[in-house]
Structures are given as structure tokens and as C-alpha cells.
């Protein structure tokens, strides 16, 4: 049984991501494309388009071209978009990174993606410069100024013309985010220009983002939800994208009011914080018309509480990095009629199946099954990992590792997660990575990590550890905390005699999860 979108298929334009989103920049000219919610710094559509061209020329003059990768380590700021489109204009792909990653984690991603240039932000330029030096990356640019890196503005000022390229949008990778997918450690996800162009025009069919809109962008652009759904759907619509470097309820609400934000995008911890924030009613949120949430499960009671405070419905979207990311959305026209708690309906050009996990057998209508999705937004594959690609995509069907249900109206619910991935505040935490760090501790003999419920994060990693006599829990927790980004920290630890495993040696994570 194949489920299809109720919306008719849309035509997918043939060009690059930059051509799609900045092709009409001339029309929007002096209109702000991006505004920094903290500093007020503004980048108009014309400045973005011209800057991207100039930056592409600057990067090309450094020898960056098709097949190359530019690392981007920054919080949200208007110049983020400039760096992205300069790199794409040179024919390169961007590999985005979370600025809170440790030097070791950044180095790993730069190495895996073979990045040639690193573009970073002022607050993390020191760390970026250290990592680049360690990995022999000669070119480090900063969006702003820092003594350890060259100003990105220098690339724009060189007077180099952007190269004429003949990229094939179906094979040229535009973005290379890292995701653990259904199993193992984080892998590079090869998203082509066509994948992203497709996803933008697909979601546009259900959402009317237009020049009158202001989109709040606090969810990070280094995550695909922020990159595609917030930043680029905003630019495609000719809207203004309001960047905020971090979520802090009062500053966020003040920014929504001051900039008359019309569309807000949340992850579940933000909804929870807004549901409980003391002074929401003091802010004028009358411009807010649509609020979205995604990246992890969202409680219906919390949703309703936050809706009452904000005076605006909150509806969920769903997707994954491997699908550029959107596959399900609540259309603007159905905002009032689509139930809270659901993830809405399929985006156009997207098909879905629900199967018995691990099989190719469909479940009966109305029953829960593993969600498979197919469409032009599904990645080309993982970087340098044909085995993981082959087990994740079969006959074009992307195995999401999520358990879903669909009703008679074509509305989907995500009811459980089958894959080992843990989502802390919507951020990916791969158990396999934490297990490798735990096993590197000299006193740890075996380890397994699963997600357990966590008030603030939704869920958080818990480690089950087999250790030598005398090893202290605090020492093991510290060992991990020193080696991973703060959001990946193991937040609970239990010593056990053995880790339950299948006859083939696979950790029986469900058994551990049920023990909690």
C-alpha cells in the first residue's frame, strides 16, 4: 500500500539551489533578506546575491571548485547565508557544523568530508583555527574579524568574478550535513542541489511563505531543518529571515514582537519553555500566524498550553536529514483542521509506506508500521559508505527508522522511534559514538547507550557500563563529557555485569530501554 500526497505533483526546476532562491533577488532588491535579531545587522536580497557572487569568485581564486567541500562552523547570523551561497557559487558543497562541537569532533567531520576551507564565526574562531592547523587546512575565514583567521569580507573584496559552472543538479552535492541515520556513527549525507530544490518547491506547495512574511530563525542553520525549512524557504518566498544565535525565552519573545514575526519554527524544548514562560502575555505577538515544531516528539498537552500563551496554533512537521529534510507538513490551508500531535500530510511528490519493521510487508491500514518514504528529496547516499546507503535506501524507499500511523484523511502520526538515535532537545546523539568514547576509558570493559526520558531534553543518553573493579561513575561521566559536545553528554550511568546482546553480538537496546 503506497500513500500519496493529496496535493498534485509539483514541477521541480532544473537549476541549482542558489539559482532557485537568489534568482529572484533582483526583484526583492533592497528588501532585507536576513536581519540579525541581536545586532540589527541586515543583508538585503541584492547584497546577498552580489556578495555570494563575489564570494564565489574569491573562493574560486583560492582553487575551490566542483567536488570540493567548505566547512561552515557558525551560529545563525545573516552572513551565514552569504558563506553558503559563496561556496555553492564556486561549485563546492558546504558541510555545516554545530559550533559547540569539540575540537576532536570538528576535526573528524572536516577529515571525513575532506574540507578544503573552513569558514567560521568570531566566538569559535580560536577553536576553528586550532583544528584547521591540526588538519592541514590552510584557508580559515571568519564571518567578522579575528586574529587567527582572515575576514570573510576579504574574499568578497578581491574583485574575482564568479566562475561559470556547468553543474549537474542531480549529482552535484550542495550540502553535506552529518547524521547517524538508523544506526552507527554520524555519516555525511549527500544532498544534491536537486534534492534541496525539490524539497523547497515541495514544501512551498503547502505553505504560502511570501514577501510579507518574517520568519524567526533560532533553530540552527547547521541542522537541516533550519537550513532548508527556515532559511531557504524564507529566501525562496522573498520573506525576511530573522536570525537569533540562541534561544532564550524573553529575548526570543521580544524579537517576535519587535520584528512582527509571522512564522515561527520550534523544536519541542522551546515549546515547553514558552508554555511555562512567565510573561508571554506582555509581548505583542499579533503578527504571528503559523508556528511549527519538529525534530522530536511534542506532547499535545504542552502544545495546547503554549498555543494558549502565544495565541497561535502550533503544528508539527516531520522529516530527516536524509530527506533534505521535509516529507510531512501541515499545509497552511489545513492549519486549523489538522489535529495537534500529528505531523500532517505528505508533501507533494512524496510517497510513503508503513511496513512491519525489518520486512517488506505492509501493515494493515490503520496499524503502526515503520515509515518508508520516497521522493526527489531523498539523499543521493551517505558519503563513502555504500553499505549504510544500501541498507537505508531500498528501491528508492528511505527507511526512516520511525514508527508511524496514518488515518483515513491521510494524516500521519509518529508514534515511536525504532532506530537507536537519541534526540536531546532535537539534536542528534548517536549511541555508537558515545559507546566508542566509553570503551576508550581504560576502566570500561563494555558499554551500551540508550535514550531515556529527560524533562528538559525530551530524552537523554543513559550508559550501561561493565567496568573494572574500583572505577567510579563520576570518573566515567567526566571522561565522556571532556570528549563530546555538551548536548551529547551521558546524563545517567548504571554499572551492570553484562550488556544484553543478540547471538550475532548486537546490543539489545530495547531491553535496556525498557529497564530505563
From the list 197, 216, 280, 254, the residue with the least C-alpha distance to 22 is 197
Q: What cell was used for 468?
A: 573494572
Exactly one of 32, 325, 457, 461 binds ligand 4UV (CB under 6 A); which one? 325
Please give the torsion angle defined by the CA atoms of residues 54, 55, 56 and 58, in that order, rounded to the nearest 10 degrees: 90
Binding piece for ligand 4UV, criterion CB under 6 A, among 54-62, 231-239, 317-325, 471-479: 317-325
Binding piece for ligand 4UV, criterion CB under 6 A, among 37-45, 361-369, 400-408, 505-513: 400-408
* Residue 329 lies near ligand 4UV (rule: CB under 6 A): yes
Nearer to ligand 4UV, 112 or 343 (CB): 343
Q: How crowded is residue 7: how many other Cβ atoms within 10 Å of its Cβ?
A: 17
Q: Are 120 and 149 in contact (CB under 8 A)?
A: yes
Beta carbon of residue 402, minimum distance to ligand 4UV (angstroms, whole number): 5
Q: Are 238 and 211 in contact (CB under 8 A)?
A: yes
Exactly one of 238, 345, 400, 464 binds ligand 4UV (CB under 6 A); which one? 400
* Residue 303 lies near ligand 4UV (rule: CB under 6 A): no
Could you give the CA distance from residue 87 to residue 58 in angstroms, rounded to a whole number?
10
Nearer to ligand 4UV, 264 or 444 (CB): 264
Beta carbon of residue 313, minimum distance to ligand 4UV (angstroms, whole number): 14
Nearer to ligand 4UV, 58 or 401 (CB): 401
* Residue 294 lies near ligand 4UV (rule: CB under 6 A): yes
Could you give the CA distance from residue 316 to residue 134 in angstroms, rounded to a whole number?
42
From the list 291, 466, 322, 300, the residue with the least C-alpha distance to 388 is 322
Q: Where are the beta strands (DSSP E) in 379-508?
A: 381-382, 393-394, 397-406, 412-417, 422-424, 427-429, 444-454, 458-467, 492-495
Beta carbon of residue 97, minimum distance to ligand 4UV (angstroms, whole number): 14
* Residue 295 lies near ligand 4UV (rule: CB under 6 A): yes
Beta carbon of residue 325, minimum distance to ligand 4UV (angstroms, whole number): 4
Could you give the CA distance from residue 210 to residue 233 in angstroms, rounded to a whole number?
9
Q: What cell was used for 187?
A: 555519516
Nearer to ligand 4UV, 54 or 293 (CB): 293
Nearer to ligand 4UV, 140 or 218 (CB): 218
Of residues 410-429, those binding ligand 4UV (CB under 6 A): 414, 417, 423, 428
Binding piece for ligand 4UV, criterion CB under 6 A, among 82-90, 159-167, 223-231, 441-449: 223-231
Could you give the CA distance from residue 79 to residue 97 in angstroms, rounded to a whole number?
15
Could you give the CA distance from residue 430 to residue 400 in angstroms, rounded to a whole number?
15
Residues in contact with ligand 4UV, shown as a per-residue x/- string from 254 to 293 under the rule CB under 6 A: --------------------------------------x-
Binding piece for ligand 4UV, criterion CB under 6 A, among 79-87, 167-175, 325-333, 435-443: 325-333
Nearer to ligand 4UV, 363 or 398 (CB): 398
Beta carbon of residue 328, minimum distance to ligand 4UV (angstroms, whole number): 7
Specify which residues 90 forms β-bridges with.
none
From the list 191, 215, 162, 187, the residue with the least C-alpha distance to 32 is 215
* Residue 297 lies near ligand 4UV (rule: CB under 6 A): yes
Beta carbon of residue 196, minimum distance to ligand 4UV (angstroms, whole number): 13
Exactly one of 225, 382, 397, 412 binds ligand 4UV (CB under 6 A); which one? 225
Q: Are 139 and 86 in contact (CB under 8 A)?
A: no
Of residues 339-358, those binding ligand 4UV (CB under 6 A): 343
Helix (H, G, I), strand (E, B) or coil at 245: coil
Nearer to ligand 4UV, 265 or 283 (CB): 265
Could you give the CA distance from residue 445 to residue 448 in angstroms, rounded to a whole number?
11
Nearer to ligand 4UV, 417 or 488 (CB): 417
Q: Are strands 214-217 and 458-467 parallel, antiparallel or unpaired?
A: unpaired
Residues in contact with ligand 4UV, shown as a per-residue x/- string from 229 to 248 under the rule CB under 6 A: x-------------------
Number of residues that bind ligand 4UV (CB under 6 A): 26
From the list 267, 260, 321, the residue with the least C-alpha distance to 297 is 267
Q: Rounded to 5 degrees, what angle do the CA atoms 111, 482, 475 make? A: 140
* Residue 324 lies near ligand 4UV (rule: CB under 6 A): no
Could you give the CA distance from residue 259 to residue 219 in angstroms, rounded to a whole number?
17
Of residues 41-70, those binding ligand 4UV (CB under 6 A): none
Helix (H, G, I), strand (E, B) or coil at 408: coil
Beta carbon of residue 26, minimum distance to ligand 4UV (angstroms, whole number): 29
Nearer to ligand 4UV, 3 or 266 (CB): 266
Q: Directed axis angle between helix 300-310 and helix 268-276, to 10°?
A: 60
Residues in contact with ligand 4UV, shown as a per-residue x/- string from 159 to 188 under the rule CB under 6 A: --------------------x---------
Beta carbon of residue 321, minimum distance to ligand 4UV (angstroms, whole number): 3
From the list 141, 139, 159, the residue with the least C-alpha distance to 150 is 141
Binding site for ligand 4UV (CB under 6 A): 179, 224-225, 229, 292, 294-297, 316-321, 325-326, 329, 343, 400-402, 414, 417, 423, 428
Amino acid at each position: 500500500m503506497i500513500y500519496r500526497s493529496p496535493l498534485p505533483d509539483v514541477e521541480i526546476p532544473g537549476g541549482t539551489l542558489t539559482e532557485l532562491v537568489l534568482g529572484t533577488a533582483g526583484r526583492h532588491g533592497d528588501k532585507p533578506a536576513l536581519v540579525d535579531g541581536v545586532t540589527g545587522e541586515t543583508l538585503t536580497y541584492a547584497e546577498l546575491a552580489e556578495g555570494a557572487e563575489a564570494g564565489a569568485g574569491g573562493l574560486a581564486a583560492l582553487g575551490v571548485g566542483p567536488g570540493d567541500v567548505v566547512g561552515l562552523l557558525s551560529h545563525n547570523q545573516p552572513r551565514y547565508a552569504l558563506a553558503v551561497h559563496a561556496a555553492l557559487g564556486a561549485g563546492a558543497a558546504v558541510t555545516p557544523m554545530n559550533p559547540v562541537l569539540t575540537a576532536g569532533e570538528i576535526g573528524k567531520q572536516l577529515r571525513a568530508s575532506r574540507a578544503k576551507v573552513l569558514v567560521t564565526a568570531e566566538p569559535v574562531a580560536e577553536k576553528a583555527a586550532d583544528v584547521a592547523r591540526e588538519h592541514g587546512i590552510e584557508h580559515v575565514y571568519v564571518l567578522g574579524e579575528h586574529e587567527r583567521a582572515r575576514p570573510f569580507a576579504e574574499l568578497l573584496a578581491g574583485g574575482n568574478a564568479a566562475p561559470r559552472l556547468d553543474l549537474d543538479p542531480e549529482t552535484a552535492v550542495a550540502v553535506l550535513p552529518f547524521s547517524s541515520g538508523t544506526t552507527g556513527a554520524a555519516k555525511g549525507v549527500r544532498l544534491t542541489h536537486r534534492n534541496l530544490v525539490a524539497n523547497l518547491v515541495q514544501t512551498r506547495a503547502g505553505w504560502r511563505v511570501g514577501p510579507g512574511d518574517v520568519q524567526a530563525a533560532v533553530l540552527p542553520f547547521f541542522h537541516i531543518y533550519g537550513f532548508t525549512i527556515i532559511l531557504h524557504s524564507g529566501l525562496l518566498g522573498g520573506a525576511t529571515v530573522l536570525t537569533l544565535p540562541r534561544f532564550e525565552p524573553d529575548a526570543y519573545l521580544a524579537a517576535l514582537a519587535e520584528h512582527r514575526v509571522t512564522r515561527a519554527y520550534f523544536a519541542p524544548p522551546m515549546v515547553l519553555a514558552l508554555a511555562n514562560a512567565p510573561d508571554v502575555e506582555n509581548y505583542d505577538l499579533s503578527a504571528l500566524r503559523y508556528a511549527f515544531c519538529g525534530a522530536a516528539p511534542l506532547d499535545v498537552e504542552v502544545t495546547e498550553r503554549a498555543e494558549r500563551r502565544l495565541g497561535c496554533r502550533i503544528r508539527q512537521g516531520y522529516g530527516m536529514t536524509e530527506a533534505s529534510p521535509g516529507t510531512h507538513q501541515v499545509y497552511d490551508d489545513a492549519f486549523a483542521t489538522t489535529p495537534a500531535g500529528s505531523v500532517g500530510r505528505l508533501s507533494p511528490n512524496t510517497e510513503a509506506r508503513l511496513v512491519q519493521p525489518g520486512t517488506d510487508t505492509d501493515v494493515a491500514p490503520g496499524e503502526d508500521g515503520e515509515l518508508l518514504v520516497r521522493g526527489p528529496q531523498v539523499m543521493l547516499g551517505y558519503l563513502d559508505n555504500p553499505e549504510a546507503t544500501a541498507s537505508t535506501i531500498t528501491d528508492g524507499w528511505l527507511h526512516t527508522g520511525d514508527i508511524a500511523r496514518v488515518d483515513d484523511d491521510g494524516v500521519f502520526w509518529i508514534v515511536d522511534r525504532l532506530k537507536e538515535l537519541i534526540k536531546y532537545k532535537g539534536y542528534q546523539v548517536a549511541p555508537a559514538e558515545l559507546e566508542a568514547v566509553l570503551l576508550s576509558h581504560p576502566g570500561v570493559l563494555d558499554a551500551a547507550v540508550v535514550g531515556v526520558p529527560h524533562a528538559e531534553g525530551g530524552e537523554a543518553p543513559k550508559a550501561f557500563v561493565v567496568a573494572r573493579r574500583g572505577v567510579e561513575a563520576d570518573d566515567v561521566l567526566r571522561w565522556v563529557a571532556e570528549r563530546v559536545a555538551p548536548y551529547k553528554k551521558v546524563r545517567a550511568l548504571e554499572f551492570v555485569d553484562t550488556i544484553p546482546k543478540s547471538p550475532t553480538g548486537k546490543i539489545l537496546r530495547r531491553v535496556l530501554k525498557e529497564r530505563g
